Structure 1
Amino acid sequence: MALWSGRFTDSVSEFTQRFGASLPVDRAMYVQDIAGSKAHARMLSAQGIISSQDAQQIEEGLDRIQRQIEEGEFTFDINDEDIHMSIEKRLIADIGEAGARLHTGRSRNDQVATDTRLFAKERCLHLMRANVQLRRVLTTQARAHADVMLPGYTHLQHAQPVLLAHHLLAYAWMLARDFTRLQAAYDAADVCPLGSAALAGTTYPLDRRATAAELGFSGVTQNSLDAVSDRDFLLDLLYACSVCSMHLSRLAEEVVLWSSSEFGFITLSDAFSTGSSIMPQKKNPDFAELVRGKTGRVVGDLVALLVTMKALPLAYNKDLQEDKEGAIDAARTLEDCLVCMAGMVETMTVNPRAMADQAGKGHLAATDVADYLAKRGLPFRRAHEVVGHLVLLCEQRGCDLADLSLADFQAESPLFEDDIVRELDLQAIVAARTSEGGTAPGAVAAQMVLVEQRLSSDEAFLAQRGA
């Protein structure tokens, strides 16, 4: 019989019981549910609402239930509807009236909100740790290939030469922003709704700040209606997951391209590749493709909760039962993707010669040739046109700018002199990009210091929270 059955004369049907149950999903939060119940029981005892003996029995009973769940000895019954009722029902069966006093001064509404916030905080910390690990791998690879050059692209066309380290650190900065978003989601979840009861608070003299402190929250919610109906913190988590997944998808796309025969920039480890059932020569970047593909799943989880929340009146509505599955799925999916991508990047082999060969194609020196003329007084737009003519000449001859003679250059502009040859050297072109945030070796070295400082700061944040 359900714990709320006193008001009813008939039981729900087998179908509606199954349809309305959240236990298959929220049983994942049993640790948080038990922690919240233990803190609530201690507070009730401290406030003189229940006896210390009852509180002790409750705590010991909850500890036994947690051990049984972790050892696979606890039987979950779909008729219990959710994790809260499942645990409370077993507790009452085990210890009697003391267990029946546990629910004093609270509702499943504030209970589930508390469980979900605790779960969201934990997931944020796990994701931030995986985020930092991937950033470490990216910076290690960047440092190991500090002198490797490759073509930079716009529109997937050769644009200007850049250092591989510069390219990899671009993803490190994306992930640093993702860490900030996860921090914001953590902070959003870090207030305790326990004690808000169903929607209006309670007549019992609860010490809400005591339970919040025991559960590791930084404070308590300030409006009981908002407390039981707010899921903004989950939207923040899902948004952070979605943006991070999108960034991983971009990196995965480059891994797929770079590992292809057409590029040949990298070779993936066998551990992060698969073969073909029919073509024995194949080595497929399946795991990069999966990381790319799972982005749609995570973004879908965000959209699903946004749509669920869009028309809910205050306060709690059963629709909110749909909040957890997507959040659990998105967080677990993203964590797996972060771990997978870290392993993939860490074990890939970089092929510097293939990158350098491609950097020599596509007239990557063109912008610097135009700058050469502009520095000698020719308006940049006119310089751009002159170099465009030179590129067209190269296309007609099937050669590169470096293959043109001084006479060819001077035929387009008398401002060209013998030193134009230096402007065609790709290493010199890269070295000249000394502006802050540029691709010159010195600028990348300075950038690396900032990346490391940010990593250290983020690791300190995690260490303070035991992650």
Structure 2
Amino acid sequence: MLDASSAGGSAAPSEPLLTDARLGKKPADRLQRHYLQATLKREENKFDQIIAVDQAHAVMLTEQGIIPRATGTALLVQLSKLRREDVGIDVMRGSMLLQIEGHLASKTGNEAAGALSTGRSRIDQGATFRRLYERQAIIAVLTELIDLEAAVIAQAANHIDTIMPGYTHLQPSQPWVFGHYLLGVAERLDIDLVRLERAYAAVNLCPLGTVGGSGSTWPLDRHRVASLLGFDGIVENARLGRDIQYTGDIAAAASMLMATLNDLATDLQLWSMQEFGFVELDAGYCGTSSIFPQKKNPVALEGVRSAAAGAVQWVGNVLAVSRGVGSGDLALRGAAFLDTALQSTAQMCDLMTGVMETLIVHKDRMAERAGEGGTTASNLADTLVRELGLSYRAAHHAVGRFVRVCLERNLPLTGVRASEFHEMAGLADQPRLSDEQLAVALDPAGFVRRCRTPGGVAPEEVARLHAAAVERLGESRARLEARIAALNSAERKRAAAIAAILNAPEAATR
């Protein structure tokens, strides 16, 4: 629709340009090429939302008797059949509002086309169609996020009791359970989802009718327009119609979601190394090397991590852009990068869904490594506290010494008898653990079974966490379906209102 040849073109001779009256001069070629074209391209991508706003506004103007029924009918006839490819873009006309107005003028005449701008400005019109677009983009992210959460929860169900080593500082810490880890990811995704829902609520308010910030002298029915467009309500204070502070909520929610994806992708990539060998990506989500024939590179995870890197700037960018709004620098208000940010977030959720649905988990390798590196050392310290009455700090010191001596002698912790342990730990003068007590304390599976505190890794707790995750997922999906149903209902309501005006010879009824 829009290309370089559009710059420097001219509108039809009979059609006055917006710039004619006040400026008396057409936009400079450089302004057209370097600024106006880019702005138009971004708006053109929101064509469907712009038409929806025009339709709702035309319906309201007609129902309120602000414009003649014949004018409203003529406008709605043309708007109902208007498609993106029908509008020939002329950069000199200005924004998409004026591009569409120019097209309507060619069909209905300048008088009728110009009536569509009664009771609105590009300020509130632009703010409204951008909110519609951002709302739909959030719906797309929520859809992909819920699918990802479902894939993570399904994978967790297969690993309720899959023991693995846990890590802090990339060093072995305590035995973990892979299903428990995944359910932690699912819970973070649910928190991210709630953030996005809050951002959706902030977006889903209608600014149309705030006009230039003072409201209007026309008897506009702002609530009717909001209803026809599927908004939850209106922006109450007219001065806030142009406000973009809500985009900070969107950027923050999307950025935090990308942080969750980054953490998951980073862990999986680390654990897919041969040195770990815990997981493996399906070949369909991997690449290979042009020189190393043996390579199976987890490029899907690298793609997610790369996309997440840019997300750290999203909130800062929104805050920087919004600084201009208060001073009236409205050219900054679009936060254009947000469109691609939301698209990237949805795409990365979808990519990670594929990774999780096809992930290969090497349970035996995880179990083999679960007790290595002293992962049950803290449990041994707890045992000394329980059985020998030591303070935890004294027990911690004794076990730390025991671990060091084992490493110096190249002995596995589990290869030592209780009598040797007491000597190595500097506890020769203390009451002794039995060999059985020592073995139980150093057993990863036994440690896992006994971690029954709420949220722990015991199988019954992991099963409870899984059931809770499934329930939360169902509730989230129901809320998403309700939002989509509300938008579809508004679309039907708008279509019915248009039909009522087009088909009724007299005043339309609601």
The TM-score, its normalising length taken from structure 2, stands at 0.87
Q: Which residue of 2 aligns with 1:247?
A: 260
8 Å contact kept, 1:84–1:108: yes
Matched, 1:355 2:357: no
Q: Which residue of 2 aligns with 1:195?
A: 209
Matched, 1:342 2:353: yes
* Distance apart, 1:372 and its partner CA: 0.3
* Distance apart, 1:400 and its partner CA: 2.0
Q: In terms of Rg, which structure is larger?
A: 2
Provide the C-alpha distance between the structure 2 equivalents of 1:76 and 1:397, rounded to a whole number of angstroms: 80
Q: Which residue of 1 aligns with 2:460?
A: 442
8 Å contact kept, 1:374–1:383: yes
8 Å contact kept, 1:226–1:314: no
Listed one character per residue, the Cα deviations across residues 268-309 of structure 1 (whole Å, up to 9, x for unaligned) are 111111111122211111121111011132333332221122
Matched, 1:60 2:77: yes
Percent identical: 33
Secondary structure of residue in 2 paired with 1:159 = strand
Provide the C-alpha distance between the structure 1 equivalents of 2:74 and 2:311, rounded to a whole number of angstroms: 42
Matched, 1:167 2:181: yes
Q: In the superposition, relative to structure 1, how do residues 439 and 400 fare at CA in structure 2: closer, same or farther (>3 Å)?
A: same
Amino acid at match of 1:437: G
- Once structures 1 and 2 are overlaid, which stretch shifts more, 4-13 or 159-168? 4-13
Amino acid at match of 2:131: R
Q: Which residue of 1 aligns with 2:136?
A: 122
- Once structures 1 and 2 are overlaid, which stretch shifts more, 310-319 or 444-453? 310-319
Amino acid at match of 2:168: T
* Distance apart, 1:234 and its partner CA: 1.3
Q: Which residue of 2 aligns with 1:104?
A: 118
Q: Which residue of 2 aligns with 1:221?
A: 235
Q: Which residue of 2 aligns with 1:330?
A: 341
Provide the C-alpha distance between the structure 2 equivalents of 1:80 and 1:404, rounded to a whole number of angstroms: 85
Provide the C-alpha distance between the structure 1 equivalents of 2:484 and 2:163, rounded to a whole number of angstroms: 40
Provide the C-alpha distance between the structure 2 equivalents of 1:12 and 1:454, rounded to a whole number of angstroms: 55
Matched, 1:455 2:473: yes
- Once structures 1 and 2 are overlaid, which stretch shifts more, 218-227 or 366-375? 218-227
Provide the C-alpha distance between the structure 2 equivalents of 1:218 and 1:362, rounded to a whole number of angstroms: 56
Q: Which residue of 2 aligns with 1:295?
A: 308
* Distance apart, 1:88 and its partner CA: 2.0
Q: In the superposition, relative to structure 1, how do residues 111 and 404 fare at CA in structure 2: closer, same or farther (>3 Å)?
A: same
Q: In the superposition, relative to structure 1, how do residues 312 and 42 fare at CA in structure 2: closer, same or farther (>3 Å)?
A: closer
Picking from 39, 46, 49, the partner of 1:29 is 46
Amino acid at match of 2:23: F
In structure 2, list runs of 5 or more residues that go unmatched: 1-10, 12-16, 486-510
- Once structures 1 and 2 are overlaid, which stretch shifts more, 171-180 or 413-422? 413-422
Picking from 134, 150, 157, the partner of 1:143 is 157
8 Å contact kept, 2:324–2:330: no
In structure 1, list runs of 5 or more residues that go unmatched: none
Q: Which residue of 1 aligns with 2:295?
A: 282
8 Å contact kept, 2:414–2:442: yes
Q: Which residue of 1 aligns with 2:502?
A: none
Secondary structure of residue in 2 paired with 1:466 = helix
Picking from 186, 192, 200, the partner of 1:178 is 192
Q: In the superposition, relative to structure 1, how do residues 220 and 73 fare at CA in structure 2: closer, same or farther (>3 Å)?
A: closer
Provide the C-alpha distance between the structure 2 equivalents of 1:251 and 1:25, rounded to a whole number of angstroms: 33
Provide the C-alpha distance between the structure 1 equivalents of 2:274 and 2:107, rounded to a whole number of angstroms: 65
Provide the C-alpha distance between the structure 2 equivalents of 1:338 and 1:76, rounded to a whole number of angstroms: 35
Matched, 1:207 2:224: no
Provide the C-alpha distance between the structure 2 equivalents of 1:9 and 1:138, rounded to a whole number of angstroms: 61
Secondary structure of residue in 1 paired with 2:174 = strand
Amino acid at match of 2:314: D
Secondary structure of residue in 2 paired with 1:162 = strand
Provide the C-alpha distance between the structure 1 equivalents of 2:215 and 2:95, rounded to a whole number of angstroms: 22
Secondary structure of residue in 1 paired with 2:301 = helix
Provide the C-alpha distance between the structure 2 equivalents of 1:185 and 1:429, rounded to a whole number of angstroms: 42
Amino acid at match of 1:392: R
Q: Which residue of 2 aligns with 1:48?
A: 65
Matched, 1:232 2:245: yes
Amino acid at match of 2:171: Q
* Distance apart, 1:3 and its partner CA: 3.3
8 Å contact kept, 2:32–2:91: yes
Q: Which residue of 1 aligns with 2:279?
A: 266
Provide the C-alpha distance between the structure 2 equivalents of 1:80 and 1:369, rounded to a whole number of angstroms: 77
The TM-score, its normalising length taken from structure 1, stands at 0.95
Listed one character per residue, the Cα deviations across residues 117-152 of structure 1 (whole Å, up to 9, x for unaligned) are 111211111111111111100010010122211111
8 Å contact kept, 1:137–1:342: yes
Q: Which residue of 2 aligns with 1:19?
A: 34
What's the RMSD between the two structures over aligned residues?
A: 1.6
Picking from 286, 298, 317, the partner of 1:304 is 317
Secondary structure of residue in 1 paired with 2:53 = helix
* Distance apart, 1:327 and its partner CA: 0.9
Secondary structure of residue in 1 paired with 2:166 = strand
Provide the C-alpha distance between the structure 1 equivalents of 2:40 and 2:360, rounded to a whole number of angstroms: 46
Q: Which residue of 2 aligns with 1:379?
A: 391
Q: In the superposition, relative to structure 1, how do residues 56 and 135 fare at CA in structure 2: closer, same or farther (>3 Å)?
A: same
Provide the C-alpha distance between the structure 1 equivalents of 2:471 and 2:464, rounded to a whole number of angstroms: 11
Amino acid at match of 1:466: I
8 Å contact kept, 1:34–1:62: yes
8 Å contact kept, 1:50–1:101: yes
Listed one character per residue, the Cα deviations across residues 320-379 of structure 1 (whole Å, up to 9, x for unaligned) are 24x1x2110100000000000110111111111221222131011101100001112111
